[in-house]
Structure 1
């Protein structure tokens, strides 16, 4: 039997959820909380708002649903917003069965959306959440209205050598000073005190994930995706070659809207959350029947 994600110890789990609660407090309390049974375990979902086209938010690697807390008030003013604790990456989701490939990860998310009876979904993913969104859209596009990708990793360009090197260094030297150095390198500024960043660090120290490593989907799958897509790339991203990633996105999804924000690093949702939220809402609004968000 394959492995499933789990907390390393009860003590680390307790400490982690203290950080999780602090990150949740950065946004308004949810209108509803769902624990949805899937083929691979229980997925936690938070709902904010109760009207308007559904927006579903997918967090970055190990960052947890509270990564989006500072977005909830703005987005839920005109939409019903669902935020997922991605199964296998910590949070309140509990994995009970292994996911052996990328198709399993897409199936798990689709079971969540089906249980919520969602259609016409505006799917949003940041960093590795962007990969999750594309992994889903290439397999279950009929449920989606749009896809928005915020500096998505391993969609049209692989991780950079620097990102892979830091991955090794952080395993060898998982100290606070090393994490602060990593986030400064990745973001172009010291964002280590951001609540979402603190939560990601807490996850890495407390949770042992067991999900297939993300890799770029085949070009043919992207070309066939056929979902209106907005892709925002960070011009100073060091996670990947953002210029190459944007060039390929324009070529492989010619109907997509592709932007490069030259002055910002990888963590766009921490560096300029208001600009990200406004751009997302304009993109969604232009594709609603009455062209209003």
Structure 2
């Protein structure tokens, strides 16, 4: 019996070492980061400054894929259950700074910069359709050796999470969708969105200021270091053709999702309303939904403690399967 236990321990150590060794080959910073073009130099500096808000030790990986290099931030215990984070449009993975410490306590985080938007991922080719974007994420999951994992997606990242789950839901244990954009309902027209359209033709600072006011219930609560990066990202932002192609998923697609799904939205959300929560509860086979008070579209920042608590509680519940 003692010999058996010792063998198990040795096997576990070797497996952990092997996994760490696999990630080591992705740890070298590529030239476009170490010697960036002039227009990206200050942006990468602001990105690195914002990343220092993470609150826990982390490592950065640069994973080669069929369409470029994927930048992934990793933190949390090496033996923790994998938890993948997908950020909102042009927000980059640094947007998770109010949540990373809480999530990293028990989970192994993998925050991925979307390759067609500002961040540290670099695209060298393009996608022909949205399904190829989902396939790209699975390239990353395969290289990280994530057989099964949970997903948290914010805004556009929520829409992408559902697309990824539909692509191969056998690997997704649970999903948390934070104010998912264009996922359950069409983005409803509002004065805030109208103001955003109007300010598209004004200065970058004015556009970003209006975006923040329409998406956050308390802009003053956003860390100034992250705000600097957010401002800079909007000077190099990119709205791809796939963003315009996003549309709510069919009832049939949503009903096909067999994993537990938690949907959270803010009570002052410019993107969603109570219908989103109602659909999550009524259509998803294992869906839950809730409205967070005093929060806008950026609810993971506006009410970080509440979102962290509800997310972790949901993830910790064992599936009844």
TM-score by length of structure 2 reads: 0.80
SS of the residue corresponding to residue 84 of structure 2 reads: strand
Pairwise CA RMSD of aligned residues? 2.3
Query: Match for 1:222 among 213, 233, 254?
Result: 254
Matched length: 281
Q: After superposition, give the CA deviation of every residue in 1:185-241 in whole Å (9 maximum; x if it has no partner).
A: 32233248534444333212024353512222222111112111011111210123x
Return 5+ residue gaps in structure 2 as ranges: 1-31
Cα distance in structure 2, aligned partners of 1:222 and 1:251: 10
Which one has more relative contact order, counting CA pairs under 8 Å at least 6 apart?
A: 1
SS of the residue corresponding to residue 90 of structure 1 reads: coil
Tell me which residue corresponds to 1:250: 281
CA drift of 1:81 comes to 1.0
Tell me which residue corresponds to 2:7: none
Query: Match for 2:209 among 154, 169, 180?
Result: 180
Query: Match for 1:82 among 94, 110, 117?
Result: 110
Cα distance in structure 2, aligned partners of 1:256 and 1:174: 41
Greater per-residue helix proportion: 2
Tell me which residue corresponds to 2:154: 126
CA drift of 1:70 comes to 2.9
Pair 1:12-2:55 in alignment: no
Q: After superposition, give the CA deviation of every residue in 1:83-121 in whole Å (9 maximum; x if it has no partner).
A: 111111121101111122221111111111111011221
Moved over 6 A (4+): none
Cα distance in structure 2, aligned partners of 1:20 and 1:210: 21
SS of the residue corresponding to residue 26 of structure 1 reads: helix
Q: After superposition, give the CA deviation of every residue in 1:9-56 in whole Å (9 maximum; x if it has no partner).
A: 933312211221121011146543221122221111111021221111
SS of the residue corresponding to residue 146 of structure 1 reads: strand
Return 5+ residue gaps in structure 1 as ranges: 1-5
Question: Are 1:99 and 1:212, in contact at CA under 8 Å, matched by a contact in 2?
Answer: no
Question: Are 2:98 and 2:300, in contact at CA under 8 Å, matched by a contact in 1?
Answer: no
TM-score by length of structure 1 reads: 0.88
SS of the residue corresponding to residue 45 of structure 2 reads: helix
